[in-house]
Amino acid sequence: MAARSFQQDLVCVFGQPVAENPTQAMIERAFQHHGLDWRYLTIEVAPHQLADAVRGLRAMNFRGGNLTIPHKVNVIQHLDGLTDAARLMGAVNCMIWRDGRLIGENTDGKGFVQSLREVTNPKGKRIVLLGAGGAARAIGVETALAGAVEVTVVNRDAGRGQQLADLLANNVKVRSRYVPWTGDFDVPAGTDVVINSTSIGLYPDVNARVPLNLATLKPGMVVADVIPNPPRTRLVRDAEAAGCTVLDGLGMLVNQGVIGFRLWTGVDPDPKVMRAALEEVFAAE
Ligand SMILES: NC(=O)c1ccc[n+]([C@@H]2O[C@H](COP(=O)([O-])OP(=O)(O)OC[C@H]3O[C@@H](n4cnc5c(N)ncnc54)[C@H](OP(=O)(O)O)[C@@H]3O)[C@@H](O)[C@H]2O)c1
């Protein structure tokens, strides 16, 4: 009998709750497509057990992993180092091995920028960023690093909004200001890209409305939503009706997965295969 290995390479996501996270479907489809005998495990980890979970990941020789709510910040103390981007954002969504050290990376913003590049080059663009949470921090930093000239942060909570505008202005050296979000926001003339990085519109609240004055959305603007489920959010539909170029949240989800996959396996996965896996998952809901 030919020698073969029954041992698979492992990666995972830690989160709580985590059962509804669809990343496994997307990554495992790509493992199959590229002939890799790997598994991606969806693992519920309570906050007080995160240290043990990371120790376990090391002991069991996992090849890497993702972090989702509520672990993206707290995991940092359990890692051996951070990439520059993850340090700037203060959040990690992806663990990778580098020279025997477990390093925290953040692929959310890079995934977003990759998706944005499919419709426009961020260089020189004026951005309106709705939200100031984890996704917004990642997107703000990476769009600025990709050459955006201005990022206007619009957020309900003033503390979080101002902190993100300051981070972008002081540490990434982009023109940035915070605007309080009270009532329907008027998108300033001259804006190139509007990004919803809040959780408004996420399943099951699919009819929730992003408070925007739709009359200020103009043809020629790009409107992007981070909400992956449903992909065609109310904002995406409204922006399309206003003649804008739209980007759905699946693009970001797929592209952050592409980057993680490449970092773990060394293989460049096919984004179309990964997107198709996600579309099947969401169509079944
Ligand atoms: N497509 C992808 O790959 C991808 C990746 C990461 C995250 N996401 C999505 O991004 C969304 C945000 O995630 P996160 O980690 O950034 O969450 P988070 O850290 O909790 O931040 C949530 C943000 O949404 C704002 N917000 C929530 N409800 C609001 C409302 N009714 N009106 C105005 N603002 C509201 C919050 O404003 P306040 O500060 O005022 O509370 C905050 O800025 C989630 O829906 C997640 O699914 C998508």
Instruction: Report domain extents, the chain.
Output: 9-106+251-283, 109-247
Domains 9-106+251-283 and 109-247 in one fold: yes
**Calpha distance 50→65 (Å, rounded):** 13
- Collapsed DSSP state (helix, strand, coil) of residue 96: strand
Point out the residues of the chain with pLDDT beneath 70: 1-2, 285
What confidence score (pLDDT) does residue 282 get? Answer: 85
CB-CB contact of 227 with 202 (8 Å): yes
What confidence score (pLDDT) does residue 1 get? Answer: 59
Task: Look at domain 109-247 and name its CATH class.
Answer: alpha beta
Instruction: State yes or no: is 72 an active-site residue.
Output: yes
Give tens-digit pLDDT for 35-61: 999 999 999 999 999 999 999 999 999
Give strand pairing partners of 12: 41, 65
Between the CA of 59 and the centroid of ligand 1 the distance, in Å, is 34
Vertex 139 angle, CA 245 and 156, to 5°: 90
**Residue 151 phi, psi (nearest 5):** -130, 115
**Calpha distance 216→187 (Å, rounded):** 5
* Distances in whole angstroms, Cα of residue 239 to Cα of each of 104, 206, 247: 35, 16, 10
Between the CA of 273 and the centroid of ligand 1 the distance, in Å, is 27
pTM for the full model? 0.93
Looking at domain 9-106+251-283, which CATH architecture does it have?
3-Layer(aba) Sandwich (3.40)
Give tens-digit pLDDT for 112-152: 999 999 999 999 999 999 999 989 999 999 999 999 999 99
Which of 198, 252, 261 has most ligand 1 atoms within 8 Å of its beta carbon, as the pocket-test mutant?
198
